[in-house]
Structure 1
Amino acid sequence: MTTTLVTGANKSLGLETARRLIAAGHTVYAGMRDLASGSAAHGLGAIPIQLDVTDQDSVDNAIASLPGLDVLINNAGIVGPSWTLDDLDVEAMRATFETNVFGIVRVTQAALPLLKRSSNPVIVNVGSGLGFPRALLDPEDDSFHGYMVPYASSKAAVIALTVQYAKNLPGMRINASDPGYTATDLNSHNGHQTVTEGTDATVALALLGPDGPTGEYHSRQGRIAY
């Protein structure tokens, strides 16, 4: 049985990822800051665990509670407190990176000892087209219309750290996914994709075998060339 941890799994993309991986036969631990919000995940058959990616003790306790780990989905993320240059400051950047970037590093580093014991260790980091410069500069791309600095730069960092982790850990499959413009709380449900469409890339990457790609960035249409 494949054991999987999904962070930020109490709603939206994380909850749908958990649902789909349970359907694929995984035992899914659904990480969330507040266990009181875990009824939906529990109803799907996931095992809710308290996990705040900004809190080292919370991360350590969550990882210590796992019987093992084969797949880590770093899904937890926030838009951040700044949407324009008028409200941008260093604290807005720090708050956004604390969850979106430092949170991934915090969870991944804690999980590595368990992942290294797996016969098929997989990590998927949920990125965004808003972190991909080519998409940000393309007027035909949904991401072109996003101007927030902290979120975009944090997701660019997610893509870069994915590549660097993959280079350092060649025995693992480590990739980043782009959900696309999906209707979630992050965009007030304005996205034109369903959460199922938005998790296509994440789920496909989570199901990779040992001969699958690593260090890549995928949307639901497939690999996105850097």
Structure 2
Amino acid sequence: MGEDKSISNQEIYQILLKLSSTCEHIQKQNEDIKSEVQECRETFSKEIEELKAENKELREEVENLNRKVNAVERKLKKFNVIFYGLKEEEGELKNAEFLLEIINNKLNTPCKSNDIRDYYRIKSKDSEQNNPLIVEFIHYKLVTSILENSSKLKGSGIFVSKDYIQEDYQKRKYLYSKLREAKHNRKEARIKNNTLIIDGVEFTYEDLVEKEQHISQSDIEVIERKEASQKRKKTAISPLEHPRKRVTTRSQERRNN
């Protein structure tokens, strides 16, 4: 005769107690884990905000340093003039006679050798052209006089320009591209004091960039609307385009009956 394997109610009750205790323990563990996760999230969120604030401060410090460096560089370059198109001669840097001849005779600007602090060639990207010549003057009035008389070099193949820092050079390059664009569209345009004037309206570099970004965003929105419209047209099938329902012999028989 086999053993009696029946479980008494008391045993079942004890098992249920253990299960209940285990469930409570697991639930408490889950709550502890949730609490730890929440604490971690709050800690990470706080650290991220601190890092963002620190990065913002660092960016501002870098921008301030760049502004200070640019201000110093502008001050130094204020006394410089760049000559383009001057033929390079052997031994030209030993004396400034060729340079004084251009400044005095062609630019009608009185200048002596001791008015020039230094002059040197800078490497050009185009090796076929003569490298630009930077001339550093002692007096700023010489710079302004040379630039004011620069139109007298027209037709000689020689051009003069202020020595801009890289940031200002890129801005002026952009302004001149917009100047050519305006003239191509038969508009009256000129550049004065780092400002583009088109049909009497003044535009700074920042104005033009902001305007271009706004136009670009508008163009993107127009394109997106057109694409969405085309997609709707493709999904909306005409009733004539619906495939005809196939009628089998069996379905026809059911209809007849």
Answer whether TM exceeds 0.5 for this pair.
Answer: no
**TM-score where L is the length of structure 1:** 0.23
Find the structure with the greater CA-based Rg.
Answer: 2
**TM-score where L is the length of structure 2:** 0.21
Structure showing the higher helix proportion among its residues: 2
Higher relative contact order, structure no. (Cα contacts within 8 Å, ≥ 6 residues apart)? 1
